Every structure is written in structure tokens, then in C-alpha cells.
Amino acid sequence: MDIQTWTLIIVGLTFLLYIAVAIWARAGSTKEFYVAGGGVSPLANGMATAADWMSAASYLSMAGLISFTGYAGSQYLMGWTGGYVLLALLLAPYLRKFGKFTVPDFIGERYYSRQARLVALICAIFVSFTYVVGQMKGVGVAFSRFLEVPFEQGILIGICIVFFYAVLGGMKGITYTQVAQYCVLIFAFTVPAIFISLQMVGNPIPQIGMGGTLSDGTYLLDKLNKLSTDLGFAEYTSAGINDRINVFFITAALMFGTAGLPHVIVRFFTVPKVRDARKSAGYALLFIAILYTTAPAVAAFARTNLLQTVSNQSYTQMPDWFSKWETSGLIKFNDLNKDGLIQYVADPAVNELTIDRDIMVLANPEIANLPAWVIALVVAGGLAAALSTAAGLLLVIATSISHDLLKNYLRPNISEKGELIAARVAIALAVVGAGIAGMNPPGFVAQVVALAFGLAASSFFPAIILGIFDKRMNKEGAIAGMIVGILFTAAYIIYFKPQLGGPGTPEGLWFGIKPEGIGTLGMLINLVVALLVSRLTPPPSAEVQQMVEDIRIPRGAGEAVGH
């Protein structure tokens, strides 16, 4: 059977599985819709969190980015895992003890203010929407390759599927479907990695194989360094001078952003106890780490294979996958010197080949000549990753609009049924909007997503952390901090992202910090502003201070409740 048939079969089977699970566990009440009724075991919650978390960016895009940037790609690896340490140690247990549905709930109550809540709400919608846009591009890439259609049509198909899928489930359905999706995506990611590792270095564990030796006796990473420098690229494993500050800032923005992302935090409201919230974060990171330690190995293998396959080879001799990706427009070859060979080098004046980095994970098994069913499996895994994250995010957007905005601000008398309908309509609008934006996103999937993290880091993280660890923090401080933080970060990003029409040039960057890393500075500014303003304004009331004392001890955590 060919790849196309295998893909149809495997993608079809996995979709049937998700739909079956979603119907089995579909949400009847608003509580089940928002926090799955609060009765999910830590292990299942850990898996669901991992699937929710590992998006098209982790699955499809990250290994590709590492593959093309070598050491600098580490920022994604450390940034997207290290945040869980912060989450488990600084946030999850306390927010679970607090026991409400959403981040704006916490902000609103801790800062005894409807304005604070509204600011948090707007930040939540803004952050989640940016993030969904990244997912839609990932879905588009996967579909365009697998159905061999142009990228825009791939996105349209993605919109339809995500829409159907997210509207049905609610948190309860989504949680159990995500457990299934985790299994599919981790299997699909590791199987090809094991194959390729065996093929190249004879070791079945890619994490170790990455440091192994090739058949000619040289270390894989040494060989890759040599291949790269011969073509004028930077050495794969070395840190460039300009990299250091950006790796530092981007890593930090991703870490603090992770700990501030509404769709991740809400996960810890779904377990029964405070103790479970801590453990659940540990399981989540364990499941995530399986993919995150495999990805750099995949990146190194893919890069080595790619350079050996295309560099200075005849265009007409290129394997099948090359022309198929050309159809989707994501590989472009322009024979500048008309010698019929592919010159793939760092110098833009001589280079003849451009490759969209997001295709690397999907193309990798084909480049390595793996069997057709493995390639089909990778497509299914990519869709699982993108769908599970998109669904989780859309749920946050829907919750924000129906629960936080509609019920608390616009229509307090809305019935439970009306609230569920509003939530589903909100999902529909959000997915269409995200799809349209996904057709023209600023940068690669992983980079778009990195922007969302910067926004989360600069708005929520300080407000939540200070709410728990600083009893003296008041509403004036928190609101001022959030507004200054997110405005500063958004302004810097818009100014320095040419795709967003900003006039900024790379020379103008502050300390050379790229827009992806500016969230770290935004977070520090938020912290300083919040602390300063709070000390100049009256302290919060005794009840609020008592509430802070109360969330610091685990005993007495009830189930998560509404209002």
C-alpha cells in the first residue's frame, strides 16, 4: 500500500477513536464542561495535560527549528519543560486550593475587583487566541501534505474538523479524548525516532543514539558539525555570541509563560485534591519529557540526513518526497547557476533551496526511507497534537466568554443551558477567526506560539505569584502591573515583527532581544510596577489577607465550584 492509503486508514482510525471517547464522556452540565466535574485522576490528568500542552509547535515544528538552528533550539526544549517546575512548585497547589474555574476567577477574587477580573479576562482571550493561530498553521501543514492540496485548503479542512470536535466535548470529553491523543502522538513520535536511530547509529534509544557513532566510526554530532561548517552554516552544537542573550530571554519567557498560560492552569482545577495537583504536574512533565528528549535527537538525525541527501545532488535525481513537498509550496528550488545540482548553503546569494522548517518532522521518515505506515503514523500524531491543543485553548476562550464575560458582566441571569450554547457559539467564532489568521501568521508555528507565551508571562504570572506569595499585594498593584506588562510586551512585538507591519529593524532591538524573548522583560516590569504601586496604595482588607493564608495550606480543599 502507498503512503496515501496508509494515512487515510490510520488517521481515520484515530479519529474514530477520539469521537468514540468524546461521545462516551460528553459534558452534560456547565461544571463538566468547564472542569470535568473535578474528578479526574492525577495520572489521567497528567496525560491529558501533556497532550493539551504538546501542540503542533512541539510536535511538528520544534524538532524542525532545532534541526535548523542547532544549539539555539535549546531555548524551546528548556523553556517548555522548565515552566512545569514553576507551575508545580509555585502555582498549581495553591490555585487548586483556591478552587474556582478560571484564572480571571482567581484574579477577580484575590484582588477583590471586577476591573482586575476584566483585565485578566482580556489578557486570557488575547493569549489563547494568539496560541490557537499557531495551531491552525500546524493543522494546515499536516493536511496540505497528507491530502496533497495547497496550504490554504489544508487550513480550511482543519477549521471544519476542529470546529466539530471542540464544540461537542467540553472539558470532560476533551480530557479523556486527550488521554487517547497523548498515546497516539507519543507513539507516533517515538516509533520513527527509534527506527532512524537504529538505522544511523545502531542504538534503539534516540536520546542515547544522538551521542552515538555512525557507521564510519565518527560521532554523529561531530559529523553534523563538519557537514554544517563545510556549507557555511554555524557549528551545530556551539552557542554563537548573539545567541546567548536571546536563548536566555526566550527560555525565561517560555518558562514563565508556561506557568501563566490559562489553558494549562485550568488543568489543575480538574483533580480532586491539592496533593493530586502537585503530583499531576509531575506526571504531566514526565509525559512531556518523553517527547522533549526525543525531539533533539530527531532534529540531529534529520539534519544530517537532509544535508547528505540534497547537498550538491542532481535535482532530477531527488526522491519522491521532494517533489511532493514542492507541490505544497513548502520546499522551493531555484537553480540559480543552472548546473542542475542543488546548492544548499548558508550564503543567500548562492543558496538555491528554501525549506519551510515546519515540514521537517513530517518529511523526516520519508527522507530516511522508512516504511509507508510509519509516515502515515506521524501524520496522525501531528493531527492529534494540533487538535488536542486547539480544543483545550478553544475551551478556555469559550469559558472566558460564556462564564467570565457573559455571566459575570453582560447577562448575569443567563440559564445554565444558555451558557452552554453561548460557549459553543464562542468556540465556533474563535476557530474561524484563528483559521483566517493562521493563513498568514507572523513566523513559524513555534515562533507564533512563543509570542503567546511572552504575553502570558508578562501579564498573568506576576499577578498570580504575588497573589499567593505577597499578602500585601493589592488590586491597584496587580492591575497596574498586568496592564503595563502586557502593553509593553505587545507593543515591542508589534514594533519589531515585520509581518505585523512594525517599522522596527533588527538593529533597533533592545540589547538585541528578539520579540520572542521580550516577555521576560515585560514580566520584570510588571513585577516592579506591581510592587511599587501596591506599596503606595492601601493594603487589602483583613478578609483577603485571611484568604491568602488559607490557600497556603492544603487542608479543606473542596471541589472546584462556580459562583
Give contact residues for another protein (rule: CB under 8 A). 66, 71, 73-74, 77-78, 81-82, 84-85, 88-90, 93, 207, 210-213, 219-222, 237-239, 244, 247-248, 251-252, 273-275, 278-279, 281-282, 285-286, 289, 292-293, 296, 549, 552-557
Q: Which is nearer to another protein, 115 or 237 (CB)?
A: 237
Where b means 16+ CB within 10 Å and e means fewer, 20-35 reads ebbeebbbeebbbbbb
**Closest alpha carbon to 206 in 444, 368, 11:** 368
CA distance 185 to 138: 14
The CB-of-141 to another protein minimum distance in angstroms stands at: 24
Q: Which is nearer to another protein, 162 or 288 (CB)?
A: 288
Q: Which is nearer to another protein, 426 or 544 (CB)?
A: 544
The CB-of-446 to another protein minimum distance in angstroms stands at: 15
Q: Which is nearer to another protein, 506 or 556 (CB)?
A: 556
In the block, which residue shows the cell 504575553? 455
Collapsing DSSP to helix, strand or coil, 445 comes out as helix
CA distance 173 to 178: 8
Q: Which is nearer to another protein, 81 or 128 (CB)?
A: 81
Residue 45 CA from chain centroid, whole number: 18
Residues in the chain, total: 563
The CB-of-499 to another protein minimum distance in angstroms stands at: 27
The CB-of-539 to another protein minimum distance in angstroms stands at: 18
Q: Which is nearer to another protein, 276 or 419 (CB)?
A: 276
Beta-bridge partner residues of 355 = 331
CA distance 514 to 521: 11
The CB-of-447 to another protein minimum distance in angstroms stands at: 19
Q: Which is nearer to another protein, 253 or 484 (CB)?
A: 253
Q: Which is nearer to another protein, 56 or 88 (CB)?
A: 88
Q: Which is nearer to another protein, 241 or 536 (CB)?
A: 241
Q: 490-495 long-range contacts, Cβ below 8 Å, gap at least 24? A: 490/126, 490/455, 492/518, 492/522, 493/451, 493/454, 493/455, 493/518
Q: What angle do CA 82, 276, 32 make, to 5 degrees?
A: 105
The CB-of-60 to another protein minimum distance in angstroms stands at: 18
The CB-of-37 to another protein minimum distance in angstroms stands at: 18
The CB-of-235 to another protein minimum distance in angstroms stands at: 10
Residues with Cβ within 8 Å of 460's Cβ and at least 6 positions away in sequence, in order, are 103, 107, 120, 123, 124, 127, 260, 261, 262, 482
The CB-of-362 to another protein minimum distance in angstroms stands at: 21
Residues with Cβ within 8 Å of 317's Cβ and at least 6 positions away in sequence, in order, are none
Collapsing DSSP to helix, strand or coil, 353 comes out as strand
